Amino acid sequence: MNRIRELRTSKKMSQAQLAECVGVTQGAVHQWEKGLASPAFKNLRDIASALDCTADDLLRECGDGGR
């Protein structure tokens, strides 16, 4: 889920800050961004809210031109 990293860094937010907003550990955010794990469906809404985007934005591949 490199899209999370892309959106998080564009907001100048640290992994720890995102983790706090979502209610998970910084390690969980790290694993999502490295593709080692995927966020639980129930967390997508909180991630999207913290990053000021939609769940669709999170699931979209990086650099796909908005497809």
pLDDT of residue 9: 96
The CATH class of 2-58 is mainly alpha
pTM: 0.85
pLDDT of residue 10: 95
CB atoms within 10 A of CB 9: 12
pLDDT of residue 62: 56
Per-residue pLDDT 10s for the chain (67 aa) are 589 999 999 999 999 999 999 999 999 999 999 999 999 999 999 999 999 999 998 887 655 444 4
Domain range list for the chain? 2-58
pLDDT of residue 12: 97
Q: Is the dihedral of CA 58, 59, 64, 67 positive or negative?
A: negative
